[in-house]
Amino acid sequence: MCDFYLSPPQPAPARLDDFNVFKKGNATFTYGNLYNSYEMCSEAEADTNNVYYNLLNFREYRQDTDGWKNKVVQDWNSDETVAWIYDCAITHGYSELDVPFHNFRISGHELRIKRREEIMDLMVHPHVDPEVSRRIAHTVFDRLQCRLNEEMRQQSVLRYADSAPYTQYHEQTILDLDYCNDRNRGYTSDYKPNDISLMSAADSSDDHEDTFRMEASSPACSYGSDGSKSGDEDDKKKPFKRPPGRPKGSIKKDKRPRSVSVPQFLRDLLLDERFCPSIIKWEDHSLGKFRFVKPDEVAKLWGQMKQNDNMTFEKFSRAMRYHYQHMVLVSVPTARLVYQFGPKGPDFKTNNPNFVKVKSELESQSYS
């Protein structure tokens, strides 16, 4: 017997179009008392030259304008573009008053093809110091390029979702991933988790060679494939123990930009129905407790994102355990492969953990 999860009614999403533009004037109660020193006026009548035109009422809406966080830039609507620019400006220490948000009511598709000079033009405002505008524009453009690059890198992870091995899990968890397939159509998966060729590729990857290149090149010290020292009579009697720690010389050839942290990565998997509950799932969502269904696959996914074919669950879990120190993750004793987000962990709230379909959805499917 299935327990169907009935998601609570969703509040109507607030739109940035509903945001009001404020200009200084008599006290007017709008959204709480935050803005009682400003008088509301409609966008149509707003004076775009007024410095307060730039001030948008984000504080009440921010939780509903986070859509950009879980979307690619290409898919942002104008509200999400503005919300991202707001976030970008604030996190880099600029004042919301210095950003002419009204100039950025454009889709992510339009934003992503903007050149640096175009962003600078849009950032200009008669009441803002041109130098400040220029700096904000540079910051926004740079952050945008970073995000676009990051998205490109993560395409490889997205491709993973299309690979066949999880079809069986989709069926048993009543998932409908058609839309994922539609969305990612055109990608060809180059990753096959249980593919022998992958394993051999990983085994022969030059990371391992890098690791021991320096030691191996030293005439006084050489290691066998198992890490034991060889070539000396004394050493045959006394087996060599590899010293603790990462071996010297594991220099990477290409730069690997820092991506999301391990806890964020886990949260992202848990909030993505391409991975949850097939390889990782919520054990107790209210407590932030989750279980690895396929730990090795999660580790491989992490490794794929970090361009590291040698990633294992053992190493991945070591990285996880470092997050115990700051309570980002907490251990769950007795239960194996079960971990928990701690008080300092990422926001993991979702209305539908494990993506169990509601009864009405299933019924409508059976009729069609």
Catalog residues that contact DNA under the rule CB under 7 A. 207-208, 211, 227, 241-252, 255-258, 261-263, 295, 302, 306, 308, 310-311, 313-319, 321-324, 326, 331, 333-334, 336-338
* Minimum gap (Å) between residue 343 Cβ and DNA: 15
Of the candidates 322, 357, 293, which has an alpha carbon nearest to the alpha carbon of residue 7? 357
Q: Closest CB to DNA among 236 and 242? A: 242
- Longest Cα–Cα distance of the chain, Å, equals 91
Q: Closest CB to DNA among 175 and 262? A: 262
How long a stretch of residues is the chain?
368
* Minimum gap (Å) between residue 223 Cβ and DNA: 9
* Minimum gap (Å) between residue 263 Cβ and DNA: 6
Name the one residue in this structure whose structure tokens are 């986070």.
66
Residues 151-157: contacts with CB under 8 Å, at least 24 apart: 151/72, 151/73, 153/257, 153/259, 153/305, 154/259, 154/305, 155/187, 156/190, 156/191, 156/304, 156/305, 157/301, 157/304, 157/305
Radius of gyration of the chain (CA): 26
* Minimum gap (Å) between residue 233 Cβ and DNA: 22
Q: Closest CB to DNA among 14 and 332? A: 332
* Minimum gap (Å) between residue 194 Cβ and DNA: 15
Tell me the residue ranges of DSSP E strands in the chain.
21-24, 38-41, 280-284, 289-292, 329-331, 338-341
Q: Closest CB to DNA among 178 and 226? A: 226
* Mutual angle of helices 262-270 and 295-305, in 10-degree steps: 120
Residue 368, C-beta contacts closer than 8 angstroms, at least 6 positions apart: none
Q: Closest CB to DNA among 46 and 337? A: 337
- Please give the Cα distance from 26 to 303 (Å, whole number): 57
- Please give the Cα distance from 110 to 74 (Å, whole number): 8
* Minimum gap (Å) between residue 12 Cβ and DNA: 36
* Minimum gap (Å) between residue 316 Cβ and DNA: 6
* Minimum gap (Å) between residue 167 Cβ and DNA: 22
- Please give the Cα distance from 345 to 148 (Å, whole number): 26
On the CB side of 122, how many CA atoms lie within 13 Å of its CA?
Answer: 20
